Structures are given as C-alpha cells and as structure tokens.
Amino acid sequence: MSTTAVSPLRTDFERSVAAYWNTHRADPVNLRLGEVDGLYHHHYGVGEPDPAVLDGPAQTREQRIIAELHRLENAQADLLLDHLGPVQPGDALLDGGSGRGGTSMMAHARFGCRVDGVSISEYQVGFANEQAVRRGVAGMVRFHFRNMLDSGFATGSRRAVWTNETTMYVDLFELYAEVARLLPFGGRYVCITGCANDATGRRSKSVSRINEHYTCDIHPRSDYFKALAAHDLVPITVVDLTAATIPYWELRAESEVATGIEEAFLTAYREGSFHYLLIAADRV
C-alpha cells in the first residue's frame, strides 16, 4: 500500500466517510457476494435476474440468490468497462474510490494493463491489495491510501479513469478537475452513479434515507453535467440504468443479506426522485 506524505483525509466529512468504511468490515452483502468468485465489489447490479433462483430446494435458495446478485453486480462492472473505449496493455487506468477492488481486477483481466485504485479507507486498500496478491496480479493492480481529489499520479498519465458509485462522497467540481488533469486529450472518463432528480430528489424522504445510511451526499443530476463541462469533459454516452437496477434491489430484498435500505432505493427509483446513470465523457 502506498500513501501520500500528508494524510489524504482533509476534512471532517472525509474522516467520517473513512471511519464508516473502515468499521463496516463485516458488511454481509459485499463479502457474501464476493465469496462466489473472489471478486469483491462495493456497488450494485443491473440486469434481469433468473427467476429460477427463487424456485427449487429451499435449503439452497439463499445460495442461488447470492450467486445471482453477484452475477448482476459483475454485469454492472462489465457495463462500465464496456464504455472505457480502446485500452491497450501498455495503458494505465485509475479506479477512483476503488473499494475492495473488484472492478479494478476485472479491468486488468480484460485489458491486460496496469490499474491503480485509490480509496480513503485504509481497510479497503489493504483488503484489495491482499486480493491482488491472491489473484497473482499485484504487480499490475495496486491500491493506494489516497484521495481521488488529489491522487498524486502524473498529469496525463491515465488512458481512462472511472468512478463506480463513489461520486456522492466528493465535490464534483474538485473531482473533475483532477480527472481532467490525469487524462490526456481524448482520454475517457466513465461514471456510474445514483443521482437525485433535480425537481423532486432533494425533497424525497427516500433519498434522504440513503444519504443518512451511507454517510454520503447525493448530487442532483444536473451537477454532473455542469462539473463535466467546466473541466472539458464532454459526454459521449449517457444511459439511464434506473429500470435496469430495480430488479437487483427487488431480489436483494428477498435475501438474507438485506440490510433494510432496499425499500428506500426501490421507493426512490420507482417514484422518480432518484436515477441510476452511466456517463461516459471524453477529455477535450
């Protein structure tokens, strides 16, 4: 694990976020799902579940649900990677807010290139680096206790940067200034995120419940496009994944790893106060 000379935790909010993720080590959702194939994520899923997982022997029902939830979260990461554009083995990528490292592992497996992940959770960084060693990719996939708003990597050094459900923890204008610095002309940034409906999201009790549960600050949808434009990041693809993620939450609510936040997500998505977006943007 590499660190910056000065602590990456600059504010009380960042310290509270780091404390949340450092102490939620036994989160049953991500750990149970990751045990399926050793890819540990910190995000949700997209796609239609196989209805057969709810049928069959009762004694293996939960095992089937866990495997299907993991398939859907892997599908979400694959969808993000699909939008990174042409990546060569000699390129370097950055995973901003890399969690337990699953998306970074998948990126290296697909492209064969170097991947660096940054997180302000020392626990997550240590966990992810251990997984890289176990998978035999520690020389090419590395995780760092750093702040994605000030990553410490060289200007123009990344062919692509992504954030997978992490932007609700940072100021978007600060983040996209750093992303633009890291990308060369024509470099690609991809984001998957939940964001609030500008008209109704800030008044939604369900969106407020999600903020409270995860110690985050969900941004309105318009802020993403304002911040991207301010830093010469031009959207090339925008996909509304809201309908595609609802089945994941419905299935998760049926599982033993449900945490109680599922109903808030389902209500927010169904009432239209919350959206699940993929944004791919080019550095110009």
Q: Encode pLDDT of 2-28 as tens digits.
A: 544 578 999 999 999 999 888 876 667
pLDDT band at residue 1 using 50, 70 and 90 as cut-offs: low
Q: pTM for this one? A: 0.94
pLDDT for res 26: 62
Cβ neighbour number for residue 266 with a 10 Å cutoff: 18
Helix (H) or strand (E) holding 129, with range, is helix 122-134
- Segment 217-242 shows an average pLDDT of 98
pLDDT band at residue 60 using 50, 70 and 90 as cut-offs: very high
pLDDT for res 2: 55
Average pLDDT of every residue of the chain: 94
- Segment 183-199 shows an average pLDDT of 97
pLDDT for res 5: 52
Q: What's the number of CA atoms in the CB half-sphere (13 Å) around residue 208?
A: 5
β-pairing, 92-96 vs 274-283, is: unpaired
Distance in angstroms (rounded) separating the CA atoms of residues 274 and 268: 5
For the chain, list the domains and their CATH numbers.
12-283 (3.40.50.150)
- Segment 248-262 shows an average pLDDT of 94
pLDDT for res 6: 73
Summarised one tens digit per residue, pLDDT across range 124-149 is: 999 999 999 999 999 999 999 999 99
Place of tokens 């791919």: 280
pLDDT for res 242: 98
State the Cα torsion 194-199-204-210 to the nearest 10°.
Answer: 20
Distances (CA, A) of 186 to 159, 228, 233, 282: 8, 14, 9, 6
Summarised one tens digit per residue, pLDDT across range 92-123 is: 999 999 999 999 999 999 999 999 999 999 99
Asked whether residue 29 carries a pLDDT value surpassing 70, the answer given is yes
- Segment 161-185 shows an average pLDDT of 98
